[in-house]
Amino acid sequence: MTMINHRKIAIAGFGEAARAFASGWTRGEESEVAAFDPKLADAQAAPSMEKAGEELGVVLCPVSSEALRDAGGVFSLVTADCAADAAAQSAPHLAAGAFFFDCNSCSPVTKAQNAEVIEAAGGRYVDVAVMAPVHPLRHRTPLLIAGPHAEPALDYLSALGMQGKIAGNRVGEASAIKMMRSVIIKGLEALTAESMLAARRAGVEDAVIASLQASDPGIDWQKRFSYNLERMMVHGARRAAEMREVAKTLSDYGISNRLATAIAEWQDEIAGLRMEGGEDNLALRLDRVLESRG
């Protein structure tokens, strides 16, 4: 166990969320941000990561121990299915008293298990729920935090310019809110795909949208549907992993997870097409998905 360097921040995972946070953090001249990601060993993924690291002033490390060494705060920003591994791999390298911000969309049970691992290693575990897309707000994206270290953790986040709010003093409270919210948010995306793809194939999507607009004029349905589909096309794999955690959460609470399971399947299916969002045009996006699905 090493001493804390309060000027050093470490990141586990260097994807979209990590880059968004790092691009906006309030940092002093002597501060250091280091990141580790298994994809650095991937010849195809590494160049874009290295470029982003150089642009953001983030030191990319070949091994997690180097990235985490002496850091006062560690942000775990991996996919939900990798969160437990990230906690287990980080624990041996944490400085005594370092904050471990578990920002992954995991079930409260998974968060509690991760907390045990981190606390046993001498770290201070913080349950974090990221409550909106990280763009355009980047580091100022709303966060819910929970756990026994929530108050000092909030001070740490505030010093970085981040927008946290305490959800409770028990690990899992923040993640439970995020999980239940995701049933609605990711569920609407899955409904979008199912309804609009079929409507497009039937040639009635304009009439369906017009009917919805008349019933609920407070929502721009065309814009919302286009945005929902883009989220699935670009981020479906990550959303599917999250929805499997949601299904686990519902099961833990004794609630049927049939819808959550189906939502994960839709997210996986669209993500499996490996498509970019492209132009913000619902018809074009629907056609691209239909053509790719055959």
19 and 133 co-located in one domain: yes
| CB-based contact 73:101 (threshold 8 Å) | yes
Q: Are residues 133 and 165 in the same domain?
A: yes
For 57, which DSSP code?
T
Same domain, 99 and 181: no
Joined together, the tokens standing for residue 39 give 């994809």
Q: Which domain holds residue 279?
A: 175-293
255 pLDDT above the threshold of 70: yes
Check whether residue 163 and residue 198 sit in a common domain.
no
Whether 176 has a pLDDT exceeding 80, the answer reads yes
Both 116 and 195 in one domain: the answer is no
The verdict on 186 and 121 lying in the same domain is no
pLDDT band at 5 (very low <50, low <70, confident <90, very high): low
Q: In this structure, which amino acid lies at residue 270?
A: I
CATH of the domain at 234: 1.10.1040.10
Residues 35 and 148 both lie in one domain: yes
Distance CA 129, CA 118 (A): 17
pLDDT of residue 29: 76
CATH number at residue 143: 3.40.50.720
Q: pLDDT-derived band of residue 1, with 50, 70 and 90 as boundaries? A: very low
Q: Distance between CA 104 and CA 113 in Å, rounded?
A: 13
Domain end residue (candidates: 119, 149, 170): 170
Residue type, 120: A
pLDDT tens-place string over residues 70-120: 999 999 999 888 999 999 999 999 999 999 999 999 999 999 999 999 999
- What is the Cα–Cα distance from 286 to 52, expressed in whole angstroms? 31
| Neighbouring residues of 198: CB distance < 8 A, sequence distance ≥ 6 | none
Count of beta carbons in the 10 Å neighbourhood of residue 224: 16
Neighbours of 30 (CB within 10 A): 8
Do 66 and 191 have their domain in common?
Answer: no
**Using an 8 Å Cβ cutoff, are 118 and 100 in contact?**
yes
Q: Do 10 and 128 have their domain in common?
A: yes
Q: Exposed/middle/buried for 150, CB within 10 Å: 0-12, 13-18, 19+?
A: buried
Mean pLDDT within 56-76: 95
Domains in the chain, number = 2
Alpha helix ranges (H) inside the chain = 16-24, 46-56, 64-68, 83-90, 108-120, 150-159, 173-202, 205-215, 221-252, 258-271, 282-293
The answer to whether residues 166 and 207 belong to one domain is no
Query: 97 and 123 share a domain?
Result: yes
> Domain check: are 268 and 183 in the same one?
yes
pLDDT category, 28, cuts 50, 70, 90? confident
Contacts of 91 (CB under 8 A, 6+ apart): 117, 118, 120, 121, 123
Helix 108-120 with 83-90: angle, nearest 10 deg: 10
Find the mean pLDDT for residues 188-197. 96
| Global pTM value | 0.89
Report the distance separating Cα 114 and Cα 105, nearest Å: 13
Closest by CA to 9, choosing from 105, 187, 139, 195, is: 139
Within 8 A by CB and 6+ apart from 72, the residues are 4, 5, 6, 7, 8, 9, 95, 98, 99, 156
